Each structure stands twice: as C-alpha cells, then as structure tokens.
Amino acid sequence: MWTDDRLLPGYRACAWQVADAAAVDGEPDEPLTATLVRRNEPEHDRALLYVHGWNDYFFQTHLADYWNRRGFDFYAIDLRRYGRNLRPGLFAGYITSLDDYASELDEAYRLIGEDGHDLITLMGHSTGGLIASLWAAQTDRPMKGMLTGPITILQWSFVRDDQPESVTARQVALALRDEVLDLEAAGLPIVQVDEPALREGLPLRRRDWDGYLAWATEAFRLAVSGVRDDTQIHTHLCYAEFGDVLPAIDRLDADVISLENARSGDETLRTLAEYGYAREVGPGVYDIHSPVIPDDAFILEKLRVFRRHLADAQIWVNPDCGLKTRTWAEVLPALRALVAAVQRLRAELGKAGQD
C-alpha cells in the first residue's frame, strides 16, 4: 500500500515484509522490511528502478528529477537493513549473499508493473550496481554480452611500443577470452565482440596488409574460441571499404556480423554476395546518426533489398549501430517500426511466428 514517504515531501512509499529474511543473533526478533519509493503518480510509459549502494539509501531527489525530465517514472528501493528499513538494533547493511536481495527486487519489479509499466530500466550505484546485475542475470530471457575486440582496443588506445603490436594484441585477446568465458558461464547464449576498427588498422603500405590481417584475425579468434559450440559469437563493424578486408572478416569465424549499412545503398550487400559470404549478417536498416525516425514502410523496403542479395536465413534485422546518440523519443518509435516491418514481411512470406 502506497503512503506518504516519511523522509521526502511529495514522495510516496510502499513497504513490505521480506518473506525470506529473518533477524540474526543479536538483532531484535521482528520482521525485516524493504521499501519502494516513487517520485510521483505514474505519468510516463517507461520506469527506472534505482538500487542504492553500500551504507546508503534513497534521498537523491535531483536524480529522480533528472530521470523524470527524460520521460521516466522514477522508483528507488531501500533494501533490508538500510535507510527507511533500518531500525534500532538491526545490523546496518548485514547480508551473507548479495543474491539474497533477489526477492526484494522481484517485489519492486512487481509493484512497478502494477503501476502500468512493462518497460523498466535498472540503475545501480556502487554495490547497488552489482546487486542489480546479479539479479538481472537470473532472468530467463535471452541476453547478449558485449565487449570491445582486441584490435579495436589497440587502435583506440595508447599502445606500448616496446614490443610488436601483434604480441600486445594476443595479450589483450587472452584477457578478453576470460571475460567471454565468464559471460558464457553466467548463462549468456550470445557474446558480441566488436571490431569496428579492423580495417582502420591496415598499414599504410599495402604489402603489409596480409601480415596485419593475419595476426588481427588470429587475436579475435583467440578471444572467442574457448566458448561452447552452442554459444553464438557476434561482431560489429563500422562503415569501411569492406571489400578490402572481406576475406579477413570471413576468417574471424563469427556466427553473425552486424554492419553499418543504412547510407551505403546496396553496395555492401552486393560485395557480400559477390564474395559468397555464407555466415549470418545484420546490415543496418536505418541511420542512427540521424534524428529522422523511420516508419515501417521504409524499413520494409530495406528488408526487400536485403533479400535480393542474402538468403532469408542469413538476415538479422537491426539498426546501424549503437543508439546512445538518440533520445528515447526517437529510439522507441524507430524500434517499434523495425518490429512492425519484420512482422509485415513475415506475414507476406507466410512465416508469421518464426524466429
């Protein structure tokens, strides 16, 4: 039940007893509680849930104001033995496993859903970020982990010059290999290792290209080759003369490549088809660097062009690149149009409901 928050004027709070929690020796024998705080009555389509850090609780109203101005209903949870739930005699912040907070986040998620939200962004500060990540990892929805690849790390960093770049690339790849395996062990069925700077790293002298591409592709494979056969490896490449490096892209042995493509007509697609590229491809269907919001008819026409050059089983449907340059007001309708275009094409082809 929502009541006026006792700490922040104008805010509302909902407290509940944590069913799977109990006092420990030395604490008063009374129920432990958690509390969800919200800034205002629901008014937006989207919600954000904030999880505080160690020795903390929610009081940062400027944070709530910030997200509200950006179109989010703001919620924050005070976990057991913190803030609004810390009573005399309780051991502040005591917990034996961060996984124990799962039931509190489950209930917070349910309460936010009761307010009409099914699109909830999770945000954590300090230890709250770890708690939130551990909780999110328990989802049964498919998730994809993303890392920057060894060659792009080299190209976009100040690299040591006391050894060949090929040696440094392998060292970075071995470090990334541990990250890739950790993501797989956490249950992620897809791991994306991006190499947008693969072509960017080509030496000035063409005679040196083959040597560079040999160790560059080796470093990528070293980073990802430890995964199981059923773990899918993706990579992403930015705009480039893909024809210069297409054999090397093929040697990356990635299951799926996503390519910036929206402003290149069908040139990239023709290059892939002429080469005989047989792996799966996600050519960008719209330009994320533009504020123009595509409609489903625009994206549908793009998909028809894709089908002239690629087999249906090869095609992934995605935007050009990352979406951080766009606002939510631009991103959400564009992604809805993307989904609608796929549904329309599947209906035309009699493939409704297929992956």
- Going by C-alpha positions, the residue among 51, 39, 44 that lies closest to residue 8 is 39
Phi and psi at 34, nearest 5°, equal: -130, 160
From residue 186, give the alpha-carbon distance in Å to each of 71, 88, 100, 173.
32, 38, 17, 20
Among this protein's residues, is 44 annotated catalytic?
Answer: no
CA distance 42 to 2: 12
Indicate which residue of 62, 234, 236, 289 is catalytic.
289
CB 336 within 8 A of CB 330: no
Q: How many CB atoms are located within 10 Å of the residue 266 CB?
A: 16
In whole angstroms, give the CA distance from residue 77 to residue 154: 40
Spatial contact of 98 and 126, defined as CB atoms under 8 Å apart: no
Reading the block at residue 318, the tokens are 């995605």
Give yes or no for a contact between 227 and 192, defined as CB atoms under 8 angstroms apart: no
Cβ atoms of 92 and 47 within 8 Å: the answer is no
Order of strands across the sheet that contains 190-194 = 144-148, 190-194, 232-237, 256-259, 280-283
Are the C-beta atoms of residues 34 and 78 closer than 8 Å to each other? yes
Calpha distance 136→309 (Å, rounded): 38
Chain position carrying tokens 């893909």: 242
Of 111, 233, 134, 245, nearest to 180 by C-alpha is 233
Residue at 104: amino acid letter: E
Name the helix (H) or strand (E) containing 305.
helix 296-309
Residues annotated as catalytic (active site), given as ranges: 289
